[in-house]
Amino acid sequence: MNQRRVAVAIGVAFVVFVVGWLMFVSTPRWFSRQQKPVAAAPAPAPPAPPGRKIKARLFYVSDDGTRLTGVEREIAYGEGPLEQAREIIAAQIAPVTEPLVSAIPPAADLSSRRGRSSPRKSRR
């Protein structure tokens, strides 16, 4: 009876190992898309509106898709911190030209959150 329990435990451990390997190693390889690397030449900056401007660093997805890269752009100057933040956010969520890829989905709408805090609270 004792040998049977050991054999069952080893069999269960083997099945768990195989299922885990399939879920976390093999399956992502099957479904990952192989993208050809694109030469990383910064796209020309869209013309900033006339008037005062500031330089801001906007972030886009890198060529390999694993991190963000910063690109310096000229942004319209906003009177006061709130207007300046709006200008920077508007520039960050604006559509970009290739080869840049925005980290923010095209359908992102930040106006629906107006001053509300996140429903999740961090525990410290």
Residue 112, pLDDT score: 55
Rounded distance between C-alpha atoms, residue 45 and residue 73, angstroms? 7
Residues in the chain with pLDDT < 50? 38-39, 41, 117, 122, 124
Residue 17, pLDDT score: 92
Residue 14, pLDDT score: 94
pLDDT tens-digit map of 41-77: 455 555 555 778 889 898 888 888 888 888 888 888 8
* Cis ω before 49 (30° cut-off from 0): no
User: Cα–Cα distances in Å, from 35 out to 10, 62, 100, 113?
Assistant: 40, 13, 15, 35
Residue 39, pLDDT score: 47
CB 75 within 8 A of CB 53: yes
